[in-house]
């Protein structure tokens, strides 16, 4: 159980996920948080990570640092996605063990599952089939992180756990048109098209894939719940049962999502689909039986979450 004065290191605190952890922990009275910017600590640099852990000695680690992006970014920079993510997680997981961290939470992704997994996707489907080619390097890195946590628990008796969130969105997201995920990209497209008075937005793919979306604030609550309530037994670890899916158990087509965002933004024009662009995995809906049995469920519904995200964009990002 993390105490209010526990020394907690949030790796990647400027990103969508890390910043949400900082907001929640600060709001709930956790007063001994450790953060470092990229300029202060390059997590790819093993020597600097070694020195950081030796000096700070965090009790708990939340590994939210990662190189992330949408289909275009994954397709364009596959070497960076696999190298950067492997280096970051190798360094943090290993030096958490060396410095006797009490507990570590590794943030994975639902893309670790096979492209054609049965739906909804259970945790046990990991490594049961081929991955989606457009994000395979990223997925392999994340799978390695899960197995690394399991292996360190097995060999060294550490308490390292992992979560596989579905597609995340919310405050402090990346709204760039090239490297972003679908919700922030569409929010920006609809907003900017509305501002210039144009009547058409071009969206990628066919719009037919189904996706599940979880607001990042809900994800944080789920992660803290697991940090305080789940410690894998030896049997669970040996079976690889150290990670949980996090999501809403609800999905929408990208076309349906686009209509929701269009209405929230107030864009009155039409949506055209560029079918020359890739769709990615046909469906990714997570089975949440394990986390629901423990007692956690999401609270923020998709339309409400998109309204919150658009308001944050208006207040913080558009200029």
Cβ atoms < 10 Å from Cβ of 27: 8
Sheet holding 60-63, edge to edge: 33-34, 8-11, 60-63, 103-107, 160-165, 243-246
Q: Categorise residue 15: left if φ over 0, alpha if ψ from -120 to 50, beta otherwise.
A: beta
Q: Which backbone phi and psi does 228 adopt, to 5 degrees?
A: -95, -10
What's CA 7's distance to the chain center, in Å? 23
Q: How far apart are CA 226 and CA 244, in angstroms?
A: 9
Cis, peptide link before residue 307, omega less than 30° from 0: no
Q: Residue 142, exposed/middle/buried by CB under 10 A (0-12, 13-18, 19+)?
A: buried
Dist. CA 87–CA 75, nearest whole Å:
20
Q: What does R_g of the chain's alpha carbons equal in angstroms? A: 19
Which one of the listed residues 113, 138, 152, 169 is annotated catalytic?
Answer: 138
Residue 138 falls in the annotated catalytic set:
yes
Other Cβ atoms within 10 Å of 284 Cβ, number? 24
Indicate the burial class of 14 (C-beta count within 10 angstroms; 0-12, 13-18, 19 or more): middle
Give the single-character DSSP code of 286.
B
Query: Residue 287 is encoded by which pair of tokens?
Result: 């089975």
Which residue, 140, 146, 126, 113, is CA-closest to 285? 113
3 state DSSP class of 272: strand
| Other residues' Cβ atoms within 10 Å of the Cβ of residue 230 | 19
Residues identified as active-site:
138
């Amino acid at each position: 159980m993390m105490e209010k004065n526990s020394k907690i290191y949030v790796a990647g605190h400027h990103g969508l996920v890390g910043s949400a952890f900082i907001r929640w922990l600060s709001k709930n009275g956790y007063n001994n948080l450790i953060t470092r910017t990229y300029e202060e600590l390059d997590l790819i640099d093993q020597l600097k990570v070694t020195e950081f852990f030796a000096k700070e000695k965090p009790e708990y680690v939340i590994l939210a640092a990662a190189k992330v992006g949408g289909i275009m970014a994954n397709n364009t920079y596959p070497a960076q996605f696999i190298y950067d993510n492997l280096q970051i997680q190798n360094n943090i997981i290993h030096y958490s063990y060396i410095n006797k961290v009490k507990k570590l939470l590794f943030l994975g992704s639902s893309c670790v599952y096979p492209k054609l997994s049965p739906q909804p996707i259970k945790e046990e489907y990991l490594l049961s089939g081929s991955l989606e080619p457009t994000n395979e390097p990223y997925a392999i890195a994340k799978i390695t992180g899960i197995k690394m946590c399991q292996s360190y628990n097995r060999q060294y008796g550490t308490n390292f756990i992992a979560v596989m969130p579905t597609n995340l969105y919310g405050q402090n997201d990346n709204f760039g048109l090239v490297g972003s995920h679908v919700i922030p990209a569409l929010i920006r497209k609809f907003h900017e098209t509305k501002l210039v008075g144009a009547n058409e937005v071009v969206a990628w793919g066919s719009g037919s894939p189904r996706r599940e979306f979880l607001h990042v604030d809900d994800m944080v609550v789920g992660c803290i719940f697991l940090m305080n309530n789940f410690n894998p037994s030896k049997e669970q670890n040996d079976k690889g049962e150290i990670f949980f899916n996090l999501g809403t158990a609800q999905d929408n087509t990208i076309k349906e999502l686009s209509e929701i965002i269009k209405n929230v933004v107030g864009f009155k024009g039409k949506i055209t689909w560029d079918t020359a662009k890739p769709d990615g995995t046909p469906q990714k809906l997570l089975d949440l039986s394990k986390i629901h049995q423990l007692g956690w469920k999401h609270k923020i519904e998709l339309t409400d979450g998109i309204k919150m995200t658009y308001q944050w964009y208006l207040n913080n990002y558009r200029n």
